[in-house]
Structure 1
Amino acid sequence: MKERRNERKERKNVRNHWKEGFSKVKENPASLPSGKSSLSKRVDPETSKYFLEISSLLEGNVNDLEERSVLCGNALEETRGKELQIASDKILSHVLEILLQSCSVDQLCSFLLSCANDFPSIAIDQSGSHVAETAFKALALYIQYNNADSAIEQVLRKICQVVMGNTVDVMCSSYGSHVMRSLLCLLKGVPLDFLENFHVTKSATVLAERLKSSSRKSDGEHLAQMQQSFPDLLKFLVRGMLSNASEHMETLRVHNFGTLVLQTVLKLLEGDDEELLHIIPILLGCNARDVTWEGEILSIVSSQTVLGLIKDPAFSHLMEVILEVAPDSLYSEIFTKVFRGSLFDLSCHQCSNFVVQALASSTRHQGQMSLLWEELGPKFKELLKLRKSGVVACLLAGCLRLNTLEKECCQALANAVCLESGSTSCIIPRIFFLENYFFEEKSNWNWPLGERLSTLGCLMLQIIFRLPREHTQQYTSSLTSMESIHVLETAKDAGGSRVIEAFLSSDASVKQKQKIVSKLKGHFGELAMHQSGCFTVEKCFSAVNVPLKEVICSDLLSLQNELSKTKHGPHLLRKCDVARYSNKPDQWRSAQASKETTKKEFLDLFSFETKSKNVNYKAAAPSGVKSPQGPKKKRKGDIMDSLIKDVEKSMAKVSGLGQKRHRSEDKDNKGASDSLEYSSDSTKKKRKERNNDGLSNSCRKRKVA
């Protein structure tokens, strides 16, 4: 209760801080532009009638592309001198968008040049902003399939020059902020399909990147097939923006909409160390004329000032991006001079704890992770009590990624959830219910049936089961000692099912895996009817011996008709070869035994070490969160299955026996292989995302981790 009162008090202080800031702006309106469009003229009735008639014609029978283009060109000519009024009209702006989508590139460039001087006013208007973004998308679509000519570059340069003179107005507008980001992305050459990622950063995507055990993939690497860009114009615009907004930078970096533009600038320039070494110090408080990289940038910046800013809701988002994109030398200086000694205090705050998560997920080497561990390792229990389990999860993922302090992390988490005299069998259940356990009477705590498992608790356990088994013995013992009803509850939960899958994919012994699978006897059919449970059943089938495989097939056979009607059921039925089990059970047993024998011989022959870190630990992000799709890599199990199939074919050819059987199996395996990509994509859970005009990024309500 005391912690909750402190959190409410902290939120109140933040609100008061913002009220004071806005009251100062009211007293001195010139200190920060309002970001609102001031339009005094309205469209005359004759012009309005004309464009409504054009709209009717476009929606009618004008299907010929050439005729449509001529019609749009003539209509755009009528907008000369009236672009601002028409674009800001709630009805006519829709007509103007249709015209810009249907006209030729020459007509589009002519329109943009004509309205360039009024472009900032159009950008900050509710309707006009949509017109501006439609124009940019039409340009991007043309550039995507054609080479940009000098006319397009001339138009973009003119718009950049005008926008630079009104930087603060546009950045401080909820509508202008969107337009500015679209312009920056157009100059960078960001494909249309990827454009939305720079407007709204989805929390699931961010969490997936932070909990990956491999090195972080930058936005630049995701844009492998980038279309033609204008790098000189991009740098010209960014430098001009920072120069013209220098007097207001202190306000812009904590402004709800201004900080979104600054985040986009940093993401687009990731990898350009020269530009980042110029921009990041300015965002942290350096004067532009004092920025010279000689290894001591932050000697000009007050670390206490930066620490105070990190607790601001808007700046904390900006700081997360700074840490992700900063060159190694600058990251090290920020880590040492700003964060060192204050990590636990920042981890306890409702906003800055996300910055600490970004810091942990962006560590460059083991030494930095050791410094993080010194301050946060002994504080796992306190962090979990304060509902800051996201910090603990990112620290675990960082240790896994850098192959350091893995044993210490596992032990610290176990100690945090176990009473001093408690048994290790309680570790897994208490991590499953982190919030429930720490806020109830611990001595009488029992498994709360029917409640959803902790998302972050499940993610932490997925990370732990990717570690070497010598570090996770107490976790394995805790999982295998769970009662059958609790194992079933876990398998039914979306997050819990992935923990079981992670355990079955780990390097734990076959005996331990069979022990956990045997506790699900009689419920495999029930689990298979659910999308998440379907993949758990598939993992169970792959991990156990033939007798347990037969138990699984028997359960699935009783619901074969129902499963065949689901989206995921047919793949599972093929994977387990239920049809053959139903018609020829002896042949099914023989085929499964043959696969097991071949697999064992393969492992013995080639000494395939499942404990090898290089294979087992470079897994994808935990499957409980949605991760951006990069180049597809085969998992260890997929590689093994493929090699085993090759060995089976070779053995069948050499022996000359069982050829018919192997051809049949190859056909079934091909079906399973064809469905592999579908299976992988289906594991990603659908999530509802809010898109409140950019507010979901910097203005989202910080959830207590």
Structure 2
Amino acid sequence: MPREVKKRGRRQEHKERKAKTTDHHQRSTKRLKTDHTADNGNALEVSGDAGDDFIGFDIAQPEGAHELQEETQFHGLLEPQEQEYYANVNNKIVANDFESAEDRATFIEAVHRETEGKELKVASSQSCSRYLEKIIMLSTPEQLRRLFSKFLGNLSYLVQHRFGSHCCEMLFLQAAKHVEKEHNKNASTNDDLASMENLFLQAAEELEPNMGFLLTERFASHIVRVLFLILSGESLDDDIVKAMLASKKKEKLDAPASKESELPENRRAVPKSFRTSLDRLIRSGVSTLDTTYLRALATHPTGNPVLQLLIQLELSASGKIKLSDENSVFHKLLPDPELEEDSESAKFIAGLIYDPTGSHLVETLVKQMPGKQFKKLYKNVLKSRLRSMSKNDTASYVAIRILERLGKDDLAEAKELIVPGLPILVSRRRTGLIKVLIERCAIRGVDLQDVADVIRSEYTKDDIDFLSALLDFKRNGVQDKTQKKGSESEKSAKSAHKTDVHGSLLAQAILQTSDICNLVQDSLLAVDVSTLTAMCQDSASSRVVQTALSPTEFNIQFRRHFVPRFYDQIATLAQDLTGSYVSDALWSATDGLHFMKQRLARDLANNESQLRDSPFGRNVWKNWAMDIYSRRPGEWQALAKGQERDQPQGGPQQNAPTGEKQKSAIELARERHAQKKSHSTNRKRNPATGANAAISTNA
């Protein structure tokens, strides 16, 4: 049978693959004709790399909206010499070997002069864009304004660019730090450049016509979220807010920034024009969207964080006013005000509870909704599902948010619903919900005895010590770690054993609750000394010991029995990185137990040479004020009893008066000298007698 005629060789195969790729690319960039095209003559163009997650919300753009700049916009490539220059700049910044801050400022200014006219090329470069971000972090307000003005007019392109979007984000975050300062001065330092306020307003105006598309664009959505937060005046350092801004995979860039540029953690003061611009941006992004399209954002991986942020900003700033506004995001998302169980809004929320992406939006709603609306949501939708939610890996996070908002009566009912499912949570080692339940019940004054009984029975049913089972602290790992210390197998012993962090957090929550703290306290007293020492040298379990040693009103009797277990062990713990924190905690743990504090101090004094050879031991020696103990015992006794308000050098940080700044050694010495001087000049002198009288008379 004749065979098919084929050309041999790899060149022909390469030509065929290239032809197929070209044909596929041509087909992917063609306009797709749909029913909408036949009706209105408009065609929806879908780029070949748009992906399945893209949602084309920009169906009906408002009048005056200009076309988005194509991603194929090209500003040129950097020459090899230019790339090498910026690589050397990066090495200089990372090394941070500047002689002074002025030297570094001069260097950054020279880099800005070299970059003039090439800002867009550098921002679009795969490697040099990272270097530009570090340069932005070290730039002055005037340099930031100059770079900001260069980006204006090209923001629609840069925010969609894979590398340029990160430069825009860094520029926005750094420029936001100086808006309040310039607003207070009410003037710009350079008349030729626009103020930070005007630059942000121009950026918002440039992005406004295309906001509906940028909300779900792969790279631009991050910059949109940053811009929303800056205009709203919300803190940019909150951990929850940071999670909304960027994914966990975002590269972290470090630069030796000055202390003046650090952003305060509290809410920022922004001009009133920012709020007006923010409302206009939000209205531009969602005005053309109905409830169906807006709800599609809830399960969209890129649109969900944007929707969370919009809800948070809307409810935190306007509150009840926005709830009644028909054009608000909240009203469009949940148009049914009563949230009846059979309503579409209730069904929508119920469907999001178990969705890995949509559950984050439910958490935001539970946290931000006004009390009246939350009660309706809880009563009609969430309460009947709370038991099943607590057992689900995804929905349990929503259940945690619910417990944080419930009052005493509702929390007691919720506890009755959750307690039957606690054995399942314990078996799966998912203790986050149990921890929050204990903390909230302790705050609201709800009885926890039934919860304690279930926890005790579940963790001790295999005849295992309660704390060892809770922390998953294996005895074999402890012995290996203590006996093989200093040998080559120490690293393998540490890696083979690791305490459960979530179990440690639960144990700490139990210790801080007076009703059930005896669960962990009794287990700590039952542990032998060698195991306790190993626990103090483990990062997670040592925090349990530190919490147990923290003085409270209800653990004085426990500390009387627990502190003596550290006799002859405190010096060993002081020489360990983790154990040194336990040694420091023993200072405050012996408040009111002065004889125990003396015994522990004597153990430290007997091992002075070993402690001084260890960096961690030296810190413990200083925190226990052992130099004063050796040279001025009377002063140390007064310090240990808490009779001195001013803490001498080396005194433990825990004994410093709350809210007062720690005084340095020279300040304390000056105070003592002034007191002695004033005492000697103000004291009443008795009449001199004998030889002294003769001397004074002659004088």
Contact 1:123 1:176 in 2 (8 A): yes
From 232, 240, 250, the equivalent of 1:188 is 232
Contact 2:308 2:361 in 1 (8 A): yes
How far apart are the structure 2 equivalents of 1:471 and 1:53?
Answer: 64
| Cα separation, partners in 2 of 1:177 and 1:678, compared to 1, 3 Å | farther
- SS in structure 2 at match of 1:359: helix
Question: How many residues are paired up?
Answer: 546
TM-score by length of 2: 0.64
The yes-or-no answer on 1:515 pairing with 2:561 is yes
| Cα separation, partners in 2 of 1:57 and 1:90, compared to 1, 3 Å | closer
How far apart are the structure 2 equivalents of 1:679 and 1:495?
Answer: 30
| Cα separation, partners in 2 of 1:531 and 1:52, compared to 1, 3 Å | closer
How far apart are the structure 1 equivalents of 2:448 and 2:625?
Answer: 39
Shift of residue 494, structure 1, vs aligned partner: 1.9
1:251 maps to what in 2?
A: 296
2:586 maps to what in 1?
A: 540
Give matches, 1:120-199, under 5 Å.
Answer: 120-137=156-173, 139-147=175-183, 155-190=199-234, 194=237, 198-199=241-242
Shift of residue 383, structure 1, vs aligned partner: 1.3
The percentage of counterpart residues that share the same residue type is: 16
Shift of residue 129, structure 1, vs aligned partner: 0.5
Farther off after superposition, 105-114 or 389-398: 105-114
Contact 1:167 1:245 in 2 (8 A): no
How far apart are the structure 1 equivalents of 2:659 and 2:539?
Answer: 20
1:430 maps to what in 2?
A: 469
The yes-or-no answer on 1:235 pairing with 2:282 is no
Contact 1:323 1:359 in 2 (8 A): yes
Give matches, 1:585-624, under 5 Å.
Answer: 587=633, 592=637
The yes-or-no answer on 1:496 pairing with 2:538 is no
- SS in structure 2 at match of 1:287: helix
The yes-or-no answer on 1:576 pairing with 2:624 is yes
Shift of residue 314, structure 1, vs aligned partner: 1.7
| One-letter amino acid matched to 1:488 | T
Shift of residue 123, structure 1, vs aligned partner: 0.7
How far apart are the structure 2 equivalents of 1:278 and 1:51?
Answer: 56
- SS in structure 2 at match of 1:522: coil
Contact 1:410 1:472 in 2 (8 A): no
Contact 1:190 1:227 in 2 (8 A): no
1:560 maps to what in 2?
A: 608
The yes-or-no answer on 1:396 pairing with 2:438 is yes
Report which structure shows greater RCO (CA 8 Å, sep ≥6).
Answer: 1
- SS in structure 2 at match of 1:311: coil
| Cα separation, partners in 2 of 1:33 and 1:455, compared to 1, 3 Å | farther
Shift of residue 125, structure 1, vs aligned partner: 0.9
Shift of residue 359, structure 1, vs aligned partner: 2.1
| One-letter amino acid matched to 2:320 | E
The yes-or-no answer on 1:451 pairing with 2:497 is yes
How far apart are the structure 2 equivalents of 1:153 and 1:106?
Answer: 10
How far apart are the structure 2 equivalents of 1:131 and 1:312?
Answer: 33
| Cα separation, partners in 2 of 1:201 and 1:541, compared to 1, 3 Å | farther
Give matches, 1:106-125, under 5 Å.
Answer: 107=146, 110-115=149-154, 119-125=155-161
In our comparison, the structure showing a higher alpha carbon Rg is 2
Contact 1:170 1:176 in 2 (8 A): yes
How far apart are the structure 2 equivalents of 1:581 and 1:28?
Answer: 68
How far apart are the structure 2 equivalents of 1:225 and 1:299?
Answer: 42
Contact 1:123 1:179 in 2 (8 A): yes
CA shift digits 1:491-542 (9 cap, x unpaired): 2222222222222224445453232233333321121122332232233344
Shift of residue 179, structure 1, vs aligned partner: 0.8
| Cα separation, partners in 2 of 1:234 and 1:104, compared to 1, 3 Å | same
The yes-or-no answer on 1:524 pairing with 2:567 is no
Contact 1:574 1:672 in 2 (8 A): no
| Cα separation, partners in 2 of 1:412 and 1:304, compared to 1, 3 Å | farther
- SS in structure 1 at match of 2:527: coil
| Cα separation, partners in 2 of 1:509 and 1:281, compared to 1, 3 Å | farther
How far apart are the structure 2 equivalents of 1:251 and 1:71?
Answer: 45
Shift of residue 105, structure 1, vs aligned partner: 6.9
- SS in structure 2 at match of 1:340: helix
| Cα separation, partners in 2 of 1:106 and 1:298, compared to 1, 3 Å | farther
| Cα separation, partners in 2 of 1:42 and 1:538, compared to 1, 3 Å | closer
CA shift digits 1:533-552 (9 cap, x unpaired): 22322333443445543442
Q: For structure 1, which runs of at least 5 residues remain unmatched after alignment? A: 1-24, 206-219, 437-447, 600-640, 647-662, 681-705
Give matches, 1:238-317, under 5 Å.
Answer: 238-246=282-290, 248-269=293-314, 271-272=316-317, 273-274=319-320, 277=323, 287=332, 291=335, 296=339, 300-317=343-360
- SS in structure 2 at match of 1:519: helix
Higher helix content, 1 or 2: 1
Farther off after superposition, 389-398 or 557-566: 557-566
| One-letter amino acid matched to 2:222 | H
| Cα separation, partners in 2 of 1:461 and 1:236, compared to 1, 3 Å | same
| One-letter amino acid matched to 1:130 | H
Shift of residue 465, structure 1, vs aligned partner: 1.7
| Cα separation, partners in 2 of 1:559 and 1:324, compared to 1, 3 Å | farther
1:607 maps to what in 2?
A: none
Contact 1:256 1:314 in 2 (8 A): yes
How far apart are the structure 1 equivalents of 2:650 and 2:107?
Answer: 55
